Structures are given as structure tokens and as C-alpha cells.
């Protein structure tokens, strides 16, 4: 359903740098990067699954939680470091919540935005899992 990934930090007296390269830290062909930020502490995002999309999620600032649900198992992952993240498979329901003040969640995806790839109804998600 998901994998923890961690990235090499290049740190000196000026601070730290993390580089993500396709085929090394990013285990798929990267087509899109987007950022989610300015989310209130009581707001919940996501609430969908993707039919085909694969993603890498990293909190590059602050922290948030991600609930992942493959229809059988549910796990909650805390994202709280710019040098650690998760890769998430397709057909996994996800909800992001408990965003800290100043949280910036970066998502790298293996395709451009296509609304037809989204399943935004949990019952439909469960039905499509059975196919
Ligand atoms: P939405 O999928 O609801 O965000 P989240 O999963 O974080 O809750 O997307 C919010 C809006 O942004 C929606 O109108 C679709 C649009 N959008 C794009 O135009 N491009 C993108 O890459 C993404 C992820 C969303």
C-alpha cells in the first residue's frame, strides 16, 4: 500500500539540502509536482483514491498525518521531515489531516492531473476494489 522512503541530507554550516532524482529517490517517471499549504488544523484533504496514479509525499515543512486505506488495512503515517516521505500505490484511499501551522506537503506524481483517475466516493472505491 505504501513504503517509507528516506533521502540523503547534505548538511553543512549553512543548512541542509535534499535532492530527489528520478529513478533514484523517485521510483517512477515523474510528470507532476504539487504543493498543499495553508491548511487549517481542523481541515481534512484527500478523501479519494487514484485508479492508476503513483505518488511520493513529503512534508517539506511542518507536519501532517496521512490515513491510508487499501480496503483491507488502515494505517496512519506521520510526515514530519523534509528528508523522509512515503510512496503510495494506486487504489489506496487517503486522507491528510492534523496539518501543523506552516505545513507544506509536497506531492510528486507519475502523471499529470486527470480528474478521471480519481475515486472520490468511498463506496465506489470499495466496489472498484472487487473488480
Ligand atoms: P483536490 O484533489 O480536491 O485536493 P486534495 O486531494 O488535496 O484534497 O484538488 C483541489 C482542486 O485542485 C481541484 O479543483 C482539482 C485541482 N487540482 C489541479 O488542478 N491539479 C492538480 O494537480 C491537483 C492535485 C488538483
Per-residue model confidence as pLDDT tens digits over 87-109? 999 999 999 999 999 999 999 99
The mean predicted confidence, pLDDT, of the chain is 98
* Centre of ligand 1 from the C-alpha of residue 127, in Å: 23
Nearest atom in ligand 1 to the alpha carbon of residue 118 is 2
Nearest atom in ligand 1 to the alpha carbon of residue 48 is 6
3-state secondary structure of 82: coil
Query: What pLDDT, on a 0 to 100 scale, did the predictor assign at position 76?
Result: 98
* Centre of ligand 1 from the C-alpha of residue 90, in Å: 16
* Centre of ligand 1 from the C-alpha of residue 11, in Å: 33
Query: What pLDDT, on a 0 to 100 scale, did the predictor assign at position 97?
Result: 98
3-state secondary structure of 109: strand
Query: What pLDDT, on a 0 to 100 scale, did the predictor assign at position 129?
Result: 97
Q: Which of 2, 7, 8, 22 is nearest to 78 (CA)?
A: 2
Query: What pLDDT, on a 0 to 100 scale, did the predictor assign at position 106?
Result: 98
Low-confidence ranges of the chain (pLDDT < 50): none
Question: Is 36 touching ligand 1 by the criterion CB < 6 Å?
Answer: yes
User: Residue 99 burial (CB < 10 Å; 0-12/13-18/19+)?
Assistant: buried
Q: Which residues pair with 49 in a beta bridge?
A: 119
Q: Which of 44, 46, 126, 56 is nearest to 91 (CA)?
A: 126
Among protein residues, the one whose CA lies closest to atom 1 of ligand 1: 46
Query: What pLDDT, on a 0 to 100 scale, did the predictor assign at position 73?
Result: 97
Query: What pLDDT, on a 0 to 100 scale, did the predictor assign at position 47?
Result: 98
Query: What pLDDT, on a 0 to 100 scale, did the predictor assign at position 21?
Result: 97
Q: 118 CB contacts (<8 Å, ≥6 apart)?
A: 48, 49, 50, 51
In angstroms, the CA 10 to CA 26 distance is 18
3-state secondary structure of 89: coil
Amino acid at each position: 500500500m505504501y513504503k517509507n522512503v528516506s533521502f540523503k541530507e547534505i548538511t553543512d554550516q549553512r543548512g541542509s539540502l535534499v535532492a530527489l532524482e528520478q529513478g533514484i529517490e523517485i521510483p517512477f517517471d515523474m510528470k507532476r509536482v504539487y504543493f498543499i499549504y495553508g491548511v487549517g488544523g481542523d481541515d481534512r484533504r484527500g478523501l479519494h483514491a487514484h485508479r492508476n496514479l503513483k505518488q511520493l509525499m513529503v512534508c517539506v515543512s511542518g507536519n501532517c498525518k496521512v490515513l491510508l486505506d487499501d480496503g483491507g488495512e488502515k494505517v496512519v503515517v506521520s510526515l514530519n521531515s523534509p528528508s523522509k516521505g512515503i510512496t503510495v500505490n494506486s487504489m489506496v484511499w487517503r486522507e491528510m489531516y492534523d496539518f501543523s501551522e506552516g505545513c507544506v506537503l509536497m506531492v510528486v506524481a507519475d502523471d499529470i492531473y486527470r480528474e478521471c483517475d480519481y475515486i472520490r466516493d468511498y463506496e465506489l472505491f470499495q466496489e472498484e476494489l472487487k473488480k
